[in-house]
Structures are given as C-alpha cells and as structure tokens.
Amino acid sequence: MQKIAVIGAGTMGNGIAHVFAQHGYAVNLIDVSAPALDKALQTIIKNLDRQVAKGTITEAIKVDTLGNISLQTDLATGVKEVSLVVEAATENIALKLKIFQDLDLHAPADAILATNTSSISITKIAAVTKRPAKVIGMHFMNPVPVMKLVEIINGYATDKEVTATIVALSEKLEKVPCVVNDYPGFIANRILMPMINEAICSLFEGVAGVAEIDTVMKLGMAHPMGPLQLADFIGLDVCLSILQVLHDGFGNPKYAPCPLLVNMVTAGYLGVKSGEGFYKYTPGSKDLVVSERF
C-alpha cells in the first residue's frame, strides 16, 4: 500500500494527508474546491514548520512530505490507482453516501474504502457500494499530526483481513489503533458527546458558569481541556450533529441535544470556527475569554 487518496481538504483531511505523506506514502488530496486545496497545503506547510521548529522532524522530512502530496479536484482521476481511500468530507450522510457511490465506481476493485466519520454508520455507507467487505471506519482525532488515537470501526460486513490491514497501517503511521463495532457514536463520541451535552445542560440550568464547569473537569478529572472549550474546538454544529445521530440511532432521550446547544448552532455561534461559542476567540490571541453571553 503505497498510494493513498484523501477526500476533503478541511481540517481533518489536510491532517490525514499530512500524516500519510510524512510517513512516506504518496497522497492525492482531493477536493472539489481549488481554493480549499490551496488553503490545506498552506496549513500543512505551517504545521510542518512547527514540527521543524520543535525538532520533531528535519527540514529534509518536511521537503519529502510536501513532495509526497498531490492536489486534485477530480475524484475519478485522483482515486484511479490508489490502494486506500480515506474520506474526510463534511459530516453529512447524503454527501458521504454519494461520495462512496462514486468511489466504488472509480477506485480499483481491490482498494479499501475508509471513512473518517465520527458517528455515521459504516454499515450504511458500505451498503451503497458493491464492496461492503472493503469498507471500514478510520476515525482520526483532531489535530491529526498530534493525536495518537485512530478509532477503527468495523461495519457489519467488513472483512477481518481489511481490519488487520488498517490496524497495521495505523501503527506504521505511529498511531494507536482501537478496533470497535458499528453502533451510533462508536465509542469515542458515544462517551464524549453525552458528557459535553451534560456540561451544556449544567450551564443552561444555571448550575455553574462556563469557566467553573471547565475548571472542575480540568483540575478535578485531569482533563487537558474542559468540555465546553472542547465543544468549541470540535465545532458546536458537529457536536449537535453527532448528538442527533445518537438520539435517532438509540431512540433514548438521554442523548437529546440541550436546547442551548440547538439555539447556539441555529444562531451561528459555532465555537472556534465562527469566532465565538462558549468562549470568544480573537485572532492572534491565546487568552481564554468567556463569551459575554454567559
């Protein structure tokens, strides 16, 4: 497995492309938007420069990594000769199903098709292809170059050899693979999102303030980041989407999104990406400032 295609040039896509390229794989980074590809490349360069400055990689590795990345806007061309595709498009089920139909049509018949989805059913995605045994979840954590975990999700029909291949590949990327089965939220988000939702409910009900909730979890539970700050970092729209998947998938009211979260997303307060969520984010500043709305 030497040639990889990554679909989607957003935060996750450029991070996944970065990691594969840094470990010697030829990567086609594919996105319908040329400006998005250019932005992704600049992000990869900036992150590589940070690694060089910290001494974790050499300048030569940076040069080799960039040389391994090819930017493409045409999916059919980009996946034509690859052994693995990792889809990292927006967390939208209709979009992902369409992408996998196209991948099944254009990627080599023996290519493994992986998705970086954080909550959408692998089995459902696999069902729109003619190769469900070769479809698997490969859920990287953000930021991809830093975070060690890869949550590997078996669909109902995923072949054991495919799972073994992806586990071995993850280890070659210097990641720690954890294999789980395909149920709503998998493991990472089935546990994380109810915690975040409960933190939002606690704020909504006036139990404590933003800083107090996050401080309790950081100092009392040894979390590196409080749940409200983490929600801002993930994106409140993404948190809402995952909670809706959990709520729909299990039919259990304990997964129902907090009304405050729903209102914030509706109003466009999405966290870091929009400049304000539970905290306010000023470009160039690392100060953690609670939003005036709280």
* Per-residue model confidence as pLDDT tens digits over 229-272: 999 999 999 999 999 999 999 999 999 999 999 999 999 999 99
Where along the chain do its domains lie?
Answer: 3-181, 187-290
List pLDDT tens digits, range 96-144: 999 999 999 999 999 999 999 998 999 999 999 999 999 999 999 999 9
Q: Is 151 a catalytic residue?
A: yes
111 known member of a binding site: no
Q: Is 28 a catalytic residue?
A: no
Output the DSSP codes for 199-224.
Answer: HHHHHHTTSS-HHHHHHIIIIIH--S
List pLDDT tens digits, range 215-239: 999 999 999 999 999 999 999 999 9
Burial class (CB in 10 A: 0-12, 13-18, 19+), 72: middle
Residue 197 is predicted with a pLDDT of 98
Q: Is 139 a catalytic residue?
A: yes
Q: Which of 18, 139, 202, 241 is catalytic?
A: 139
Same CATH topology for 3-181 and 187-290: the answer is no
User: CA neighbours within 13 Å on the CB side: how many for 186?
Assistant: 27
Does domain 187-290 fall under CATH 1.10.1040.10? My reply is yes
The class that CATH gives domain 3-181 is alpha beta
Confidence of residue 145 (pLDDT cuts 50, 70, 90): very high
Q: Is 118 a catalytic residue?
A: yes
